[in-house]
Amino acid sequence: MAPVENHLIKRLPEKDRQRLLAACEPAQLTLSDVLAEPGTPTRDVYFPTHGFISLVTLVEGSPGVEVGMVGREGMLGAQLALGVAEAPWRALVQGQGAAWRLKASAFKRELALSPALQRGLQHYLYVLMAQQAASAGCLRFHLIGQRLARWLLMSQDRAHSNSFHVTHEFLAYMLGMRRVGVTAAASAMQKAGLIEYRRGELTVLNRPGLEAAACGCYTADLRTYAQLLG
């Protein structure tokens, strides 16, 4: 069995962790795959170990906007802990990689058997709520460059690499912007030596500089996570 690299699973007591992993199967996260749609009952839950997933809220007349991310710090399908079968967002693989996957029915059985898993999911759901609240305020009040810097830092954290694949079209989709605005902001960051962008591959060259360029929403996200799940 592959090493456990999902933070929620690693936090469990040994007995609970082994029982949960025995119910899981390895799954590949393929770039741009849709793992959940709003209004559709959740069939499988995912605990990423590598790669990450965007949570996109759909808006009538537009392709939607990203309101959260899930990497190895969390899971997809956490709303099942609230007794709710349907997620309110589209889940789109943003960074390809791997995950532990198990059926929703098996997850609910494990949840009933493990108070530690219940507590972990309660805290994680709050972290997701805080992330979405920050994203709403960020979308409304912060400048394009600040929002882009936050998004790149969040993506780098979950990619666990200085480089990851992303296109300007995808950035515009995730940030709810026109592509021309994203291109201008990314070009300014490249000229400032913060990032390098070539043929869909983005590399963070100066993380402290990128952190300075980001809005306070990024550090607020980190603080909330550290307080509850660190």
Per residue in 62-73, pLDDT tens?
778 899 999 999
3: pLDDT strictly greater than 70: no
* Residue 98 · residue 29 · CB < 8 Å: yes
Residues of the chain with CATH 1.10.10.10: 144-214
CATH of 7-138, one of 1.10.357.10, 2.60.120.10, 3.20.20.105, 2.60.40.10: 2.60.120.10
Per-residue pLDDT tens over the stretch 184-206: 999 999 999 999 999 889 999 99
In angstroms, rounded to a whole number, what is the distance separating the alpha carbons of residues 78 and 81? Answer: 6
In angstroms, rounded to a whole number, what is the distance separating the alpha carbons of residues 111 and 105? Answer: 10
Per-residue pLDDT tens over the stretch 79-105: 999 999 999 999 999 999 999 999 999
Q: Which fold has domain 144-214?
A: Arc Repressor Mutant, subunit A (1.10.10)
- Our CA angle for 43, 108, 225, nearest 5°, is 95
pTM to 2 decimal places? 0.91
* Residue 72 · residue 7 · CB < 8 Å: yes
In angstroms, rounded to a whole number, what is the distance separating the alpha carbons of residues 7 and 41? Answer: 25
pLDDT for res 178: 87
In angstroms, rounded to a whole number, what is the distance separating the alpha carbons of residues 92 and 112? Answer: 28
